[in-house]
Amino acid sequence: MLSQLLKQRYQVVQVLSQGLFCRTYMAQDTHLPEHPTCIVKHFLPSSECPIPVEIRRRIFTREAEALKKLNNYDLVPHLLTYFEDNLEFYLVQEFIEGHPLNAEFLPGKRWSENKVFQLLQEVLGILNFVHSQGMIHRDIKPSNIIRRKQDNRLVLIDFGAVKPIWNQLIRGQENFIPVEYSTIAIGTPGYMPQEQQRGKPRPNSDIYALGIIGIQALTGVHPTQLPEDRNTGELIWQHLTQVNPQLASVLNNMVHYHFKDRYKSAKEVLEALLPLKNLYTPLHESDITLLSEDFTFEPQIPLSTDNTNEVFESEVSAQLLNNYTNDTTISIFPSKSALLMGLLIGAVSGLILMVVSYWSLQVIAPAQVENSQPKPSGLFR
């Protein structure tokens, strides 16, 4: 595939992912100057999907038309074009330079509440737009959220799993799509709620996934490892971290087991977060870089300016300060070696002082006594 030129134009340079419904490639547009990078998605490859070509074409066209609606929004990749080549179907999207959010998730490391709050606000804003266009993403997860290099804004990618809300089944005389092809569960374990696993996603299925990401960020625990209540199916996570009860309440309402118990829309979640806005300071670009996030007690080691766009887990919070207070002793006294040297010098100095004092008593003092005695008078000669 790497040597193939799609539509005599797009040169595949790297395979990014391979799945049952979509293969994703990084490619270069050989028809444009400097061969800019783009993303090519091989939609429903015939080798993986035993679906008749007519149905694949119909689903593909519907998907492309849906993605066109997102082109005027800056925080999703723009659809550049789409085409059919040898009965295979391809989407070409804008390449977003940056790094996926999963690069910021390190096992056992926790984000500050401030950073989680901003994550929720940014992605909820994107979901509010996507849902307003009548679409569900269905695969919200850290690797599908890119922190854009140019401005550190979060961008939602991988809309290959997008599904129109009002058309979960297309039932027309001429364009009927069988149930087995239109209710297939698409998503990622841990981030996918139970209704989505049954192939019946809803707008708040995306809200569930984002809430899971927020909990993962606060606890440092992957969602597949979070305990749950055996009776209700609700996640049990607050014992794993220290979090503002109001923020925890919002997250819990995002991730309820049953979709009826969750927020119904992204706008509703944003309104629930509004009273908390004064508790959290907006993060600036410099606050999201490695220089400020990767807290260290070794300032003598310079940080390369080339890495300021790499973002990792941060514990710069009350919890982080508690961790350092409890686990790390920061001494304001001299080191042991300097202290021993001082004691040695003091001991030697004291010994010398004692010797000099003894010599003074034995030599100098008798001489002074002898000189102070009166000389014999001449009368006794």
Q: Could you tell me the residue ranges of all domains in the chain?
A: 5-94, 98-322
Q: How far apart are CA 191 and CA 220, in angstroms?
A: 15
pLDDT at position 59: 83
Q: How far apart are CA 188 and CA 142, in angstroms?
A: 11
Per the residue annotation, which of 29, 74, 85, 139 is the catalytic one? Answer: 139
Query: Active site includes 85?
Result: no
98-322 is a CATH 1.10.10.10 domain: no
Class of domain 5-94: alpha beta
pLDDT at position 359: 63
pLDDT mean values, one per 10 residues, the chain (381 residues): 84 88 92 96 87 88 87 93 94 95 90 96 97 92 96 90 50 44 70 92 96 97 95 96 97 98 98 94 57 32 30 32 32 43 68 68 54 49 41
- Kindly report the pTM of this predicted structure: 0.70
